[in-house]
Amino acid sequence: MLTSRNISIIGAGAWGTSLAIHTARLGLPVRLWARRPEMAATLSQARVNEAFLPGFPLPPGVSLHNDPVEAVAEAAIIIWVVPSHGLREVARRFRSYLPPGVFQISATKGIEDDTFATMTEILREETQREASSIGVLSGPSFAREVAAGLPTAVTLAFLDLKVARLAQALLSAPVFRVYSSQDVKGVELGGAMKNVYAIAAGICDGLNLGLNARAAFLTRALAEMTRLAVAVGANPLTISGLSGLGDLLLTATGDLSRNRRVGLRLGAGEPLSSILANQREVAEGVNNSRAVWGLAQKLGLSLPTIRETFRVLHEGKDPRQGLVDLLTRRLKDELPSSLRPGGKPDD
C-alpha cells in the first residue's frame, strides 16, 4: 500500500531530471535531490537543468533539495538515479532518513566493481530495507525523449508483483507505458550489460564495418546477455524484452547514446582518456565492462564480446585487433550447445 503520492528522485542528472519532469506532469508532488548545493540552488532558481537537460523547464510540482532529510520527507516512492559507482555512498547517506514503508526504485544501470552487486542489492544492503520493497525501472528511454513527452515503454520489476503493479499504475502515462515484472535480476542485468555492448557497437560503426556487421554483433550480444542472465537465475525471456533487447537496440544505435559515442570515437582512433576528459555525463559502460567481465570470469562464462571490449577499454588493446580476435575464433554451431540438457552454452 502506498502511503502517499509523493515521489523523491535522488540524482539531478539528465535521467533524474527527465523522470522528475515526467512524474510532475502526472500531477505527483516531486522532490528532486541534487548532490551539490549550488546545483540545487541554480535549478531552483532557473527551473531548467542547463548542465544536463537544457531546453526542458521543470514543472511547478518539482521542488529542489540538497538536504537528504528534506528530499525524502513523506515520500511514498524514492527513485535512485545516481551513477552506479556512487550509489552505495549516497544510499548510505540517506539510510537514517527513509520514511517507514517507503518503496525504492533503482533507475541506475550498472554492476558494482569487485562485489558484482546489482543496484537493488546495494540499496538493500545500505538502506537495510526488505528486498520486496526495492525494485528496478529500466528499458529503452533516452532522457531527452522522455522529457519531451515522446512515447516510451519501460519495465518496472519488484519481487512482489502487487507492489510492482501499484507503482506501475502511479508512474504510467499514455506516453510512458510501464510494464510490470517480478524478474528484478533480469531487468537489472539487461540494463547494465547493454551499456557495454553499446560501446562495442559504436566501435564497429567507428571502424566503418557496415550494417551486416552491426546486425550480427547485436544478435550475438543478445545471446551473451541471455547467457549471463540464465547463469544468475534470471528469466531469459526478460532479456528479449524492453529491458534487454529494447534497451540494447536503443543504446547501441541511437545518436543520443553516450556509450555509443564513446565507441564511435574509439573506433575512429581517439584514446579513451581523451574521450572521457571531454564528457560531462557518465558513460556507464566504461566502468560496467570491468564488472561484467569480472562476473563472467567468476561464473566461468564465455562472453567474448565483453572480453574484447574490456581489453580495449582497460588494457589498451587496439580495437582492430579485438575485432580480428573475435572473428577468428573457432567455428561453432549457433544453437545446439545451448540447447543440450545440462549443457553449458559457449560462444
The residues annotated with a catalytic role in the active site are 194
**Residue of 134, 142, 136, 117 whose CA lies nearest to 18:** 142
Contact predicate 80/108, CB 8 Å? yes
Residue 178 half-sphere exposure, CB side, CA atoms within 13 Å? 22
How is 35-59 classified by DSSP, letter by letter? SSHHHHHHHHHH-EETTTEEEEEPP
Distance CA 42, CA 302 (A): 48
Contact predicate 194/234, CB 8 Å? no
Contact predicate 193/225, CB 8 Å? yes
Burial class (CB in 10 A: 0-12, 13-18, 19+), 36: exposed
Indicate the pairing of strand 62-65 with strand 53-57.
unpaired
Question: Which helix (H) or strand (E) covers residue 285, if one does?
Answer: helix 284-299
Distance CA 13, CA 284 (A): 13
Neighbour tally for 100: CB within 10 Å: 6
Distance CA 110, CA 81 (A): 11
User: Helices in 99-246 by DSSP H: which ranges?
Assistant: 119-127, 143-147, 161-171, 184-206, 211-231, 236-239
Distance CA 192, CA 30 (A): 26
The grid coordinates listed for 26 are: 502526472
